[in-house]
């Protein structure tokens, strides 16, 4: 993979990083999925991003740094970075996963991106993978810094209060994924009608995404 910008000494690590669990379920002999690598990659990415933010934005408090890291080290951003290096086209997927759009699904791409991070780390060292990560992540960090996070929940509340005093209700639909990488799915209701659904690594972010989608789609205008 020329777009990857790294040459593996142990190419079997890259193959493992690109192997989705659905492929292993269909090809049992010798196939190893990328879930264990994704676990390591998540930790390495968190360390590298955290250290960079700590060193670069020394005047920012812990809360601000945490919000910046959460805004950048998220499924959406990692999937975007995965697409930029053409990761989706290289994935080994089961027939069903491939047929239902898994090759372009954010969750699949972001997990594969973290697995690739682990593969590079295990194939080289921390400094090498740090440079690889930051060459891709720093532009996203700078973008997040230049565009402060918007409080979509408050904005939506203000918009709807002009129409009615009916309360907004955020309901957790599901909590999935391993302990180190939870995904919360939240449904947003108003006047007992579903306005939007949001998913993210924590409850607050999932609610913000649902509110953002509700503002964009404006389904409340018909209620």
Contact status, residue 192 vs residue 208, Cβ threshold 8 Å: no
What average pLDDT score do residues 109-118 get?
Answer: 97
pLDDT digits (tens, 9 = 90+) for 151-177: 889 999 989 988 888 999 999 999 998
- pLDDT at residue 35 greater than cutoff 90: yes
pLDDT for 193 equals 93
* Arithmetic mean of pLDDT, 41-65: 94
pLDDT computed for residue 202 by the predictor: 87
Using a pLDDT cut of 70, give the percent of the chain over it: 99
This prediction has a pTM of 0.74
The 8 Å CB, 24+ separation contacts for 78-82 are: 78/109, 78/110, 78/113, 78/114, 79/106, 79/107, 79/109, 79/110, 79/113, 80/140, 81/113, 81/136, 81/137, 81/140, 82/109, 82/110, 82/112, 82/113
Q: What is the mean pLDDT of the chain?
A: 92
pLDDT band at 135 (very low <50, low <70, confident <90, very high): very high
Q: How confident is the model at residue 149 (pLDDT cuts 50, 70, 90)?
A: low
- Determine the pLDDT at residue 134: 97
pLDDT band at 148 (very low <50, low <70, confident <90, very high): low
> Which residues are annotated as catalytic?
42, 114
- pLDDT for residue 62 is more than 80: yes
Contact between residue 31 and residue 24 where contact means Cβ atoms under 8 Å apart = yes
């Amino acid at each position: 993979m020329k777009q990857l910008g790294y040459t593996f000494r142990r190419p079997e690590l890259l193959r493992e990083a690109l192997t989705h669990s659905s492929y292993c379920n269909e090809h049992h002999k010798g196939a190893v999925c990328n879930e264990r690598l994704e676990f390591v990659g998540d930790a390495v990415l968190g360390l590298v991003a955290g250290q960079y933010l700590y060193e670069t934005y020394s005047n920012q408090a812990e809360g601000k740094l945490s919000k910046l890291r959460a805004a950048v080290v998220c499924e959406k951003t990692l999937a975007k970075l995965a697409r930029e290096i053409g990761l989706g086209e290289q994935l080994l997927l089961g027939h069903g996963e491939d047929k239902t759009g898994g090759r372009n699904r954010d969750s699949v791409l972001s997990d594969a991106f973290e697995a690739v991070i682990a593969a590079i780390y295990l194939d080289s060292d921390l400094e090498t993978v740090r440079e690889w990560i930051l060459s891709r992540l720093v532009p996203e960090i700078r973008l997040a810094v230049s565009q402060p996070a918007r409080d979509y929940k408050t904005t939506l509340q203000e918009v709807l209060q002009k129409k009615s005093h009916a309360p907004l209700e955020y309901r957790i639909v599901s909590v999935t994924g391993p302990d180190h990488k939870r995904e919360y799915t939240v449904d947003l209701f108003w006047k007992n009608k579903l306005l939007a659904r949001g998913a993210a690594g924590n409850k607050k972010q999932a609610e913000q995404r649902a509110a953002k989608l509700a503002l964009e789609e404006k389904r409340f205008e018909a209620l």
